[in-house]
Structures are given as C-alpha cells and as structure tokens.
A and B are shown apart, each in its own frame.
Chain A
Amino acid sequence: MKVIQTNDLTKYYGKQRGIVNLNLSVEQGDFYGFIGPNGAGKSTTIKILLGLISATGGRAEVLGKDIRKNKTDILSRIGYLPSETMFYGGMRVREILRFSADLRKKDCDDEAKRLCERLELDPARKAEELSLGNRKKVGIVCAMQHKPELYIMDEPTSGLDPLMQKEFFSLLKERNQEGATVFLSSHVLSEVQRYCSHAAVIRDGRIMVSDSVEHLGNTEAKRVTVRGIRELPDLEKIRDAEVSEDAVSFLYGGRPNALLKALSGLPVTDLTITEPDLEEVFIHYYEEEV
C-alpha cells in the first residue's frame, strides 16, 4: 500500500513557485528521505500532505485517502514534527504533551514519560525556558507519543546534539521496525544515507530523482584518489576535483580503460577507486542543470 502518493502536485504562492508537478510515492513501512536545500519545496510538500495549505493543482493521498476530504482522519494517524517547533507560553512541557494527547483524545501519559526519559527531557520545564534542542525534543514526543502509523518529520535533527540525534533515529528505527512509515525531510545527506531506505531529491520545486538510497549512491561515476601526482590527468568526464600537495581526487564518469591509460605514465604511488557518497550524488543532481 502507498502511504504517500502525489500526482502532479503543484503549489504556487501567487506567482511564486512552491512545487511543480511533484510525483512522490512512499510505500508502507518505508523509511523515506526527502532531500533538498532550503527553499526547494520540502516544507511546502509536507504542509500540503498535512492539509495546512491547499495545492494549486494535482492530487495528494495520504494513507490511501484524499487529504482534502479526510484530513481529520488522516491527521489522527500521523505524527508530525515541524522544522521550527513553537509552543504556547506559560505552559510546562507535561502540559503541552497532555494538550497534544487530549487533542487526539488519547491517554499517552505512559508513552510520553518513556519518551521523555529516553530523550532526557524534563517535563516540569516551562516552554519559554526551553532551548532550541529541548523544544525539538518536545516536538518529537508530541509526534511520537500516540504511536502513529506515519511519521512526517521536517528537518528533525536541527538543534539536536549528536547523541540526541542518535537516540532520535534509534526511536524512529524502532517504530519503523514495528511497521510504521517514516518520511523525513533533510538537507543532512549523511543521515539520509545512514537511516533511509528510499529517498527523493527535490530542486526548485521539482523532483530530480527518487530511488532506493542504495541505487542513488550507485551511479556510474566513481571517486578516484591518486597519490603521487599534483595535476589532474588528461581525462574527459572529470568533475568535483580536488588537488592537494601529493594527491588529486575527482569524480570520474568515463571508461576504466581510459583512466588506466591516462595514469600509466604518471608517478602514481597509490590509487583508490570508491563509490561516491550520497552527498556527492546530491551535488551531482544539483550541478547537472546549473
């Protein structure tokens, strides 16, 4: 079953582009990364999926239902973490969590307590005293305490320290293993590569590519690092090159024979050829049309 399905989803804010003919497909049980720089359209897509804004064109289905017609039902099955988490002044953390649970007509006290312990969040703290990271933790508990079927997380790790990021992802992984679907937007490619099984790259409101993370990293281009030389070999299809004192490194998309031939006459002391990481692939998709 498709948990998220969009067909030619389009949003314009007046004349300003939000997203254009966006087609997304997220399967049940997937751990899906939505990658793109600021302003690419990630938050716009998420806000349409949650019914916070209306699409100018196209369709969006979440959990098999049209978001415009079944919004309340869909929202009861979603846990959402906004990129910027803000809460009502004068409330303590435990009151915010209970208010969120009450709005869902659920008793989540036990789960909230468990999540607060794991995230080292003090429920007695006042909302206005919370740091960015602690506000994020409150948002995470609000999104997870009712154990939804779908988690939509908009840049979830911003503001969290590395240990908390690890704990957060281990919580998400647990929920994912229990059958929940995770859809997270990020511009931190390493976390998408580490945790997500599928990903889509969005640029200027359009999906550039969507595939399994394994396939996305598996492009024809290889990262080549050659020690012992200070100049790039005479080759075509070289990009993203770096030259240091005793080595050169570049992405090479040509034939292996041409590479070996070009290197054969050079004083090479070491040679490594590796798969590019997702960040390099990401930059590749962005640079391609610049």
Chain B
Amino acid sequence: MIIVKHELRQGRISLMIWTATIAFMMGICILIFPDMSSDMGDLGRMFSDMGSFSAAFGMDKINFGEFTGFFAVECGNILGLGGAFYAAYIGIMALSKEEKEHTAEFLLSHPVSRTRIVAEKLLAVFLQILVLNAVTAAVTAAGILVIREEVQAETMVLLLAAYLLMQIETAAVSFGISAFLSRSGPGIGIGLAALLYFLNIAANLTEKLKFLKYITPFGYTDGAEIIADGALQTGFLATGLVLGAAGLISAFWYYTRKDIVS
C-alpha cells in the first residue's frame, strides 16, 4: 500500500481544504435552520410555487419547513455539487498528473505492475472521498444535535449515501478519462461535474429530458424522491453503477497498455 500512502500524503492539503469548506458550509446551513423555519411562514409555499425554478431544484415536492426537506435541497446542493467537483478533480488527476508533472517515468520504472499502480491510486481516490463524506456526516450529526431537531435517521442516511455514491461514480468516470490524458486534467474534471449537475436540472425541467437522469449521477440524489420513496432510485443507480464500472474498466485496460512517453 505504498502508493496509497503516497497518494494520500500528496492529496492531504487539497482534501483538508475541500472537506473543511464543504463541512463548514453545511454546518452553517444546519445552524441557521431553526431561525429560517420559524420565519418561514409562507416562504416554504413560495419556494415550491416558483414553477420551473422550483422543479429544477426539486423544491416543488419538498416541505422546506421540515429539516429533511431543507437538508435535501440546501445541504444537498453543497455536498452534492462540492463533493462532485472534488470527486471529479481527484479522479481526473489520479493518473494524468504523473505524465503532466513528468513523474511517470520515475514511478513506472520501479518494480510495481501498472495494474497495482492503478488499483492503489483508485483506492486512494475512494478513501479521500470517504474521508470527506465521513467528516461532513459527522458535522451534520453534530449540527442536528446542536439545533435539537428531530430527524428521520433512515432518510438522512439515505440522502448521505446517495451523495456518497454519486461522488464515487463521478470519481470512477473521471478516473477512466484520466487514464487517457497525459496533459491537462482539472478543467475537464470540473467541467464534467458541472455538466452532470446541469443535465439533472434539465431533466427536472421537462419530462422529455427525464432520460438524462440515467446518465447523470445527480439523478439518484434527488432529495425529494428519496424522502418521498424512502429509498434510492434503483433504476438511475443501476445505470450509474454501470457507467462507473465502465470508467474503471477502461482505466485498467488502457493504462496497462499505454505508452508513457514523457
């Protein structure tokens, strides 16, 4: 696990910054909920009556005055979008950075198979995502305790699990792309995450684009659906798992054959 350790060490500052930022924003969001809910009055109805805008963000099906509804939209966007950006960033950089920074020759001239290098780098990516999500889950739990709000633990776990799975899928797809890159990566990763986010918004706006939810992992993180069904949307999740697996298979297949020129 030398490479896992090395990758975690190399990515520790980035992980700390992303985790602290997302956890801090989520913590603030949770702490302001009691004030918001008491002042809410007709605000909740207003949020759900904004037509397409409400639909785009799933606010038409959610009770904003309840903590889970509030959490699914507000905190969901912070952890969903922030987590997806981070997952895409570390996924896309994992393999491509070695060639971009000209360290590939150093690493690959050591007696470690490329399959093992890919596997250890992938494990490091997943571990970093797990750390980010564990910290944000802990901050969420602490925030709930501080504001003394009663929540349905099962729904909260489902919501957090959906965001985690979404980040893992985004990272897996980005990781697959990373194997094919030898130069720039971050722009493609962040761009991919943003594209997937907006595909979900487009899918929420019209039934004609509903199929996009099978493509974007944001499809199964729709808080309104999770709260209503008390379960994850297995159809969207299944296609997400297939896309993630395709990303990983292509990473292993291509990187073990790739010419390392620089």
Contact = CB atoms under 8 A, between A and B. Distances in A.
Given A86-B102, A87-B106, A103 B112 contact: yes
Interface string A30-62: 000000000000000001001111100000000
B261 interface: yes
A78 B112 CA distance: 13
A80 B109 contact: yes
Contact of B103 (A87, A103, A104): A87
A86 B110 contact: no
Contact of B260 (A53, A71, A78, A139): A53
A78 to B, nearest CB: 8
Contacts of A82: 105-106, 109
A72 B113 contact: yes
Given A47-B260, A103-B2, A52 B111 contact: no
A75 interface: yes
Q: Which of A72, A73, A142 has the most CB of B within 10 A?
A: A72
Nearest to B261: A53
Interface string A6-48: 0000000100000000000000000000000000000000010
Nearest to A83: B105
Contacts of B101: 86, 88-89
A99 B112 CA distance: 12
A86 B109 CA distance: 13
Interface in B93-137: 101-113
Interface in A223-273: none
Contacts of B113: 71-72
Nearest to A154: B105
B259 interface: yes
Given A54-B259, A99-B2, A99-B6, A104 B111 contact: yes
B38 interface: no
A85 interface: yes
A117 interface: no
Contacts of A103: 2-3, 107, 110-112
Interface residues on A, range: 20 to 34
A76 B103 CA distance: 18
Q: Which of B3, B108, B111 has the most CB of A within 10 A?
A: B111
Interface in B1-54: 2-3, 6, 10
Contacts of B106: 82, 85-87, 100, 139, 142
Contacts of A100: 106, 110
B109 A76 contact: no
Contacts of A47: 260-261
Contacts of A87: 103, 106
Contacts of B260: 47, 52-53
A90 interface: yes
Contacts of A90: 10
Q: Which of B106, B107, B112 has the most CB of A within 10 A?
A: B106
B10 A75 contact: no
A75 B113 CA distance: 10
A27 B107 CA distance: 27
A111 interface: no
B148 interface: no
A89 B102 CA distance: 11
A86 B103 contact: yes
B88 to A, nearest CB: 22
Nearest to B10: A88
B98 to A, nearest CB: 9
Given A52-B105, A88-B101, 10 more contacts: A52-B109, A53-B261, A54-B259, A72-B111, A75-B110, A82-B106, A86-B106, A100-B106, A100-B110, A104-B110
The 6 closest A-B pairs by CB, nearest first: A76-B111, A86-B102, A103-B110, A53-B259, A75-B111, A80-B109
27 contacts: A13-B261, A50-B108, A50-B109, A52-B104, A52-B260, A53-B260, A54-B259, A72-B112, A73-B111, A75-B109, A75-B111, A76-B111, A80-B109, A82-B106, A84-B105, A85-B106, A86-B102, A86-B103, A87-B106, A88-B101, A88-B103, A99-B6, A103-B2, A103-B107, A103-B110, A104-B110, A104-B111
